[in-house]
Amino acid sequence: MPQNIKKTEAIMTAAPVIPVLIVEDPAKAVPMAEALVRGGLPVIEITLRTERALEAIKLVADNVEGAIPGAGTVMTAAQYEKAISAGSQFIVSPGATPTLLDIADAFADVPLLPGAATASEVMYLLERGYERLKFFPAEQAGGAAYLKSLSSPLAAAKFCPTGGVSLDKAPTYLGLPNVLCVGGSWIADAKAIANEDWAGIEERARAAAALTGR
């Protein structure tokens, strides 16, 4: 089944930046998400890199008005199903496999943003009906210059570059014709979450929400 492009693009264009988060303590997920939403970043990607990430997603889904929580670093069908059960409204993967795309077909109402880093990977995803993709790892895979070079031959693909993207680098990506948003961890990194720096997270979220391309 092809990607629900309209629904996926709505998530990607809700704000110029999708925070990519590693949450160790679920008790901190709600105030963290509230700070992000207040700052203008409603789409929140909580990566499945910690033992209690699914719990954090569920708490945000159940308790934070205006938040659009999703699960990142999803690599298996089991993770996909658990993430949706926890309340994820979108799924992000670092790459794509036939198995992952098959399970995505079974949950078409929850968009998958699959990762790609090469022209061949993008072509494969386009062949499977996916036109809204994650470019990962963005900086390590060639950065904005490389991504720009894909815009003409693979014009149907639009991206969310993630991986090494910072506040300073984000505008360059956002100025590309094939970029809809960027993903970044600088807004709410592990230290800020651990220190409960909600004011700082909100301030960085406001700065990120105001970003435009250049």
Enumerate domains of the chain plus CATH numbers.
5-209 (3.20.20.70)
Residue pair 110/91 in contact by the 8 Å Cβ criterion = yes
How is residue 142 annotated by DSSP? T
Whole-model pTM? 0.97
Classify 13 as helix, strand or coil.
coil
Model pLDDT, residue 59: 98
Model pLDDT, residue 170: 98
pLDDT one digit per residue (tens) for the chain, 214 residues = 889 999 999 999 999 999 999 999 999 999 999 999 999 999 999 999 999 999 999 999 999 999 999 999 999 999 999 999 999 999 999 999 999 999 999 998 999 999 999 999 999 999 999 999 999 999 999 999 999 999 999 999 999 999 999 999 999 999 999 999 999 999 999 999 999 999 999 999 999 999 998 7
Q: Which two tokens stand for residue 18?
A: 């999708």
Classify 120 as helix, strand or coil.
helix
Marked catalytic residue, from 58, 134, 158, 169: 134
Model pLDDT, residue 1: 81
Marked catalytic residue, from 34, 45, 131, 202: 45
Known catalytic membership, residue 45 = yes
How many angstroms from the chain centroid is the CA of residue 2? 19
Residue pair 23/32 in contact by the 8 Å Cβ criterion = yes
Known catalytic membership, residue 134 = yes
Q: How many CB atoms are located within 10 Å of the residue 50 CB?
A: 18
Model pLDDT, residue 108: 86
Q: Which two tokens stand for residue 132?
A: 């809204």
